[in-house]
Homo-oligomer: A and B are copies of this chain.
Amino acid sequence: MSKSQSKSLKTVDEDHRHSDSEVSNLGKDHYLLEDQVGFILRGVSQRHLSIFSRLIPELTPTQFSALSKLCQLGQASQNELGRLTAMDAATIKGVVDRLKLRELISSEPLSSDLRRLILKPTSAGQQLYLKVVSSAHAVTKETLEPLSDKEKDVFLSLLKKLI
C-alpha cells in the first residue's frame, strides 16, 4: 500500500482476462474493494505501523500502549491493563510476557487476591517510556500529516465514533 505499487511494471498477461465467458461474473456486482472501509482501514493501519516501527524501533504499538499506561498509572493488574489498552486476556498476556522478558515491567501476585498479578514498570521501563514518548507524539503527527489541522480534528472525532 505504501510503496512500489507503481502498476503495470508487468509485461505479460495483464490483459485478456475478461476475454469471454471463462468467468461467470454475471452482471456487475459493483463491489469495489478499494472503497470498502475495512480495506482502507487496513491500509492506513499498515502505514501507521510502518511509521511507528521506524520512529520507535524499540517497541511495538501494543507494547508501547501497555508500557505507557502502566507508567502513568504506576501499577495495574494484567487483565486491568488489558482493558485499559483494549486488548483481550490472551493478547495482553503475550505483550506482558515480552515486556517482562526484557525487564521493562515486573509482576508480583497480590496477596489479597491470589488471582491477580500486579504489574509495575521497572526503572528501565520508565526510562524507556520517557525516552520515546516524544517519538510517540511524532508517530501520530506523521500519520496525520496528509491532513490539514481542521481535517485532523474532523477525522479524529469521526474515527472515535466508529470504535
Binding site for B on A (CB under 8 A): 1-2, 5, 10, 12-13, 17-19, 22-26, 29, 31, 33, 35-48, 52, 61-62, 65, 68-69, 71-77, 80, 83, 85-86, 110, 112-113, 118, 121, 126, 130, 133, 136-137, 139-140, 143-144, 146-147, 151, 154-156, 158-163
Contact = CB atoms under 8 A, between A and B. Distances in A.
A30 B121 CA distance: 18
B12 A113 contact: yes
Kindly report how many copies of this chain are found in the complex they form together. Answer: 2
A143 B44 contact: no
Given A29-B133, A72-B25, A44 B159 contact: yes
Contacts of A2: 163
Given A33-B65, A154-B158, A140 B85 contact: no
